[in-house]
Structure formats: structure tokens, C-alpha cells
Structure 1
Amino acid sequence: MMKKIITILLLCITSHHTFAQNQIEMATALRSSGKIYVVVLVLLTIFVVLGIFLFMLDKRIKKLEK
């Protein structure tokens, strides 16, 4: 499980550097007005909730398989 978490974190960090190199007008406008943090927070919340849901679902499926 720890390997999966570390792999996901490394992929997130790597993709951040890849996408951060390009300047996009919409992102620049959101960043200058401070709204980019709201967008990032919403996306982060969605991914965390989805991850928790999938983790719980996996535990239930393993329990049913036994």
C-alpha cells in the first residue's frame, strides 16, 4: 500500500512540473485573482474523496471474496 501512495505522489509531482512550464491565459488570470486556489482545492477534494471511496470499496470486495 505504501508503494502505491509513494508512486501516486511521485506521479503528481512529475506531472505538476510538466504542466507548470506552459503559461495559459486562463490560469494566469485565475492565479492573479486568487481563484486558482479554489479550483485546486475543489479538484484535490474530489480526488481525495474518490480515493477514499475506492479504498473502502476495495476493502469491501476483499471481504466478500473471503
Structure 2
Amino acid sequence: MKSVILAICFILSLSIVAFAQNSNGVDMATELRESGKIYVVVMVLAVIFIGIAIYLFSIDNRLKKIEKQK
């Protein structure tokens, strides 16, 4: 129950932060988009995310093997 309440508070705080931002746009993001480097940034983030996901799945598999041994 605490985790659900915490998740709801987190989502609400993100929405408040999103409304607080101005709509002028971010100069750095605009510059990256114009030069095409935004795709490099997106790919690096995707590789990092995939690496973390693979690492977590491998840890989960190891823990399952250890639990079966006991």
C-alpha cells in the first residue's frame, strides 16, 4: 500500500514539474535536433537501458538458481 501511495505522489510531482516549465523550448535540444545528434543521444540511452535490463535479468536468473539449490 505504501508503494502505491509513493508511486501516485511521484507521478503527481512529475506532472506539477511539467506544468511549471516554460514553453519556449530548450536551446540545447533544438540544436541537437537540428544537427541530427539527437539520434546519437537516443541510441546511447537505449544501449544503456538495454544493458541495465540484461544485467537485471541475469541477476534474477542467478538468484533463481540459488533458490532452487536450497
TM-score scaled by length of structure 1: 0.64
- Report percent identity of matched pairs: 57
Note the residue ranges of structure 2 that are not aligned, 5 or more in a row: 1-17
Q: CA deviation at 1:52?
A: 0.7
Q: Which runs of 4+ in 1 moved over 4 A?
A: none
CA distance in 1, matches of 2:65, 2:26: 46
2:66 is aligned to 64
Note the residue ranges of structure 1 that are not aligned, 5 or more in a row: 1-17
CA distance in 1, matches of 2:59, 2:26: 37
How many residues are paired up?
46
CA distance in 2, matches of 1:62, 1:27: 43
Q: CA deviation at 1:37?
A: 0.3
CA distance in 2, matches of 1:61, 1:53: 12
Q: CA RMSD in A?
A: 1.3
Q: CA deviation at 1:34?
A: 0.3
Larger Rg: 2
